[in-house]
Amino acid sequence: MQRFSEYRIMWILVFFDLPTKTKRDRKRYTDFRDKLIKDGFTMFQFSIYLRHCASMENANVHIKRVKNYLPPAGDVGILCITDKQFGNMELFSGKKEKEIKTPYQQLELF
């Protein structure tokens, strides 16, 4: 069995559209975003954050944390995909294709 399989390594994507009309709404938006960053998520696009996880078990830990961070209002989506699926993504800026830059560095300690 291959230890780091592109089918075992997971990516969590968190999509959100939170209200920002009031000062309290903006505070909740900022708190949610800050908690994602503190938990190792990186901004992929505006209101889309992602995190690399070594396994589905590890991803489930972070998904549970995100669920605990949910604000009382707004829409949040959580999507978990394999590293293989992530690698098949195509990104464009206008009509020009962009290179996918993975925002993580794999580290293994023995």
Q: What is the pLDDT averaged over residues 102-109?
A: 52
Token digits of residue 98: 């962009």
The CA distance from 87 to 38, in Å, is 25
Model-level pTM?
A: 0.83
> pLDDT digit string (tens) for 58-74?
999 999 999 999 999 99
Q: What is the mean pLDDT of the chain?
A: 89
Tell me the per-residue pLDDT of 29-42, one tens digit each, with 9 for 90 and over: 999 999 999 999 99
CB burial of 82-109 (b: ≥16 within 10 Å; e: otherwise) equals: bbeebeeeeeeeeeeeeeeeeeeeeeee
Residue 101 main-chain phi, psi, to 5 deg: -105, 115
- One-letter amino acid for residue 69 of the chain: Y
Question: 7 falls in which pLDDT band (50, 70, 90)?
Answer: confident
Q: Count of CB atoms within 10 A of residue 12's CB?
A: 23
Q: Which domains are assigned to the chain?
A: 10-98 (3.30.70.240)
73-77 average pLDDT score:
98
pLDDT for position 99: 79
